[in-house]
Amino acid sequence: MATDWLLLLLLATVAMASPPPELTLLAGATEKGAVCLDGSPPAYQLDRGFGSGRYNWLVYLEGGGWCDTIESCSKHKKSGLGSSNLIEAVQLPGIFSNDHRQNSDFYNWNKVFIRYCDGASFSGDAEGEDQDGTKLFFRGLRIWEAVIDELMEKGLANAKQALLAGCSSGGLAVLLHCDNFSARFPQTVPVKCFSDAGFFLDIKDISGERFIRSVFSGVVHLQNVRKVLPKDCLAKKEPTDCFFPAEVIKSINTPTFILNSGYDSWQIQNVLVPDETSPEKSWLTCKANIRECNPTQIEALHGFRETLVNDLKVVQDKEDWGLFIDSCFTHCQTPFRISWDSPISPRLQNKSIAEAVGDWHFGRSRSGVKQIDCEYPCNPTCSTQLPS
């Protein structure tokens, strides 16, 4: 245990040693209507590539949940998740690292971190009125289009390889925008997508209600995300159905890698056992720490994993797709060195996440690119230090 803490301290020291990439506010955002919830311009950080990676691009979408009501969007507006006035530049390790030892495949790429300030996975296109009478801007789709347009002018258009990635609600945004991103490049340019912890499940919570479905329904209708939803899905199903990844992935043509935990800590805490269900004390303890769950609760968590695995069966038929579904109690594994590629990172078939993603992206291995872990607690490489 002491060794783990020493490692974390060392990683934190390294991360603080170099300044973060500069925060850039989107030029001409107001004229384009591409603004955050409060009307401020959206922001991104660009870390220029070098050497052999100077023409390769990683575009990463930040996550941060959703706002599905005027009240919740008003709260987001008063934070960095709704206003660039409250955003500060950050330095991230993991897939963003410039150190070859920590990020051997992408260390010298151009890396863009697009900050999240719309509350609808970069997908809304509407307006509302805040409780205080001021406007709320639901402009995630315009933010997506305007930021990508600006990046194209800054060199993305000349990319030799491009990877669209993101985690959590940003991981869902990757799935929603994947084919749109790919279509911006000549067919000769290898373009792929990578969703980390973005596969949200349409399941009942422990009270029998579909809490996450009610949230997604609020987002879809309040923020008008219909424009980004798969047309073939909309022809058969309600828009809310088409906002869930299980439906979205059926329509994606671009090669995509899905990284998720079978026991995603955020979803267990907010989808399976949301606070709104007023869970009893034993559930509060369980959802805070999977090691404290009783056998009955573990069975419910196994059911969550089973739903995820079933929803992903369609990926098995997609030859150029990849999977890394571990059984760790965690959420978002790409922006942390400890989970991305470290001596104590999760492993499947003896490969770290970074190694599996690299093998998939560069076509180094046809075997081991689609890996689904066994049930908890089977994997000894699931560290207690992983972010949850």
Q: What is the pLDDT of residues 218-231, one digit of tens each?
A: 999 999 999 999 99
> Which of 168, 169, 195, 342 is an active site residue?
168
Which pLDDT belongs to residue 365?
81
168 among known catalytic residues:
yes
The answer to whether the beta carbons of residues 148 and 178 sit under 8 Å apart is no
pLDDT greater than 90 at residue 30:
no
Q: Is the pLDDT of residue 2 over 50?
A: no
- Beta-strand ranges (E) seen in the chain are 23-25, 43-47, 56-61, 110-114, 126-129, 135-138, 161-167, 191-196, 256-261, 322-326, 347-348, 351-352, 370-372
CA distance 185 to 176: 17
Mean pLDDT, residues 98-104 taken together: 95
Ordered domains of the chain (ranges, CATH): 2-372 (3.40.50)
What does the pLDDT read at residue 367? 66
**Distance, CA of 89 to CA of 251 (rounded, Å):** 35
Is-catalytic flag, 317?
A: no
Q: What is the mean pLDDT of residues 228-240?
A: 98
For the segment 327-346, the average pLDDT, to the nearest whole number, is 95
For the question of residue 359 being annotated catalytic, the response is: no
Neighbours of 24 (CB within 10 A): 18
Catalytic residue among 331, 345, 352, 388, which?
Answer: 331
Q: How confident is the model at residue 9 (pLDDT cuts 50, 70, 90)?
A: very low
Q: Is 4 helix (H, G, I), strand (E, B) or coil?
A: helix
How do residues 257-278 score in pLDDT, each as one tens digit? 999 999 999 999 999 999 988 8
User: Among 125, 202, 264, 359, which one carries the catalytic annotation?
Assistant: 264
Token couple for 169:
């609600």
CA dist 354 and 94 (Å) reads 9
pLDDT of 1 reads 30
Q: If you average pLDDT over residues 363-382, what whole number do you get? A: 90
Q: Which of 18-27, 232-241, 355-364, 366-375 has the lowest mean pLDDT?
A: 366-375
Q: What is the mean pLDDT of residues 12-32?
A: 77
Binned at pLDDT 50, 70 and 90, residue 10 comes out as very low
Give the confidence band of 85 by pLDDT, cuts at 50, 70, 90: very high
Q: What percent of the chain has pLDDT over 90?
A: 88
Distance CA 228, CA 180 (A): 9
Among 19-23, 163-167, 211-215, 262-266, which is the least confidently predicted range? 19-23
Residue 12 has a pLDDT of 43
Give residue 11's pLDDT: 43
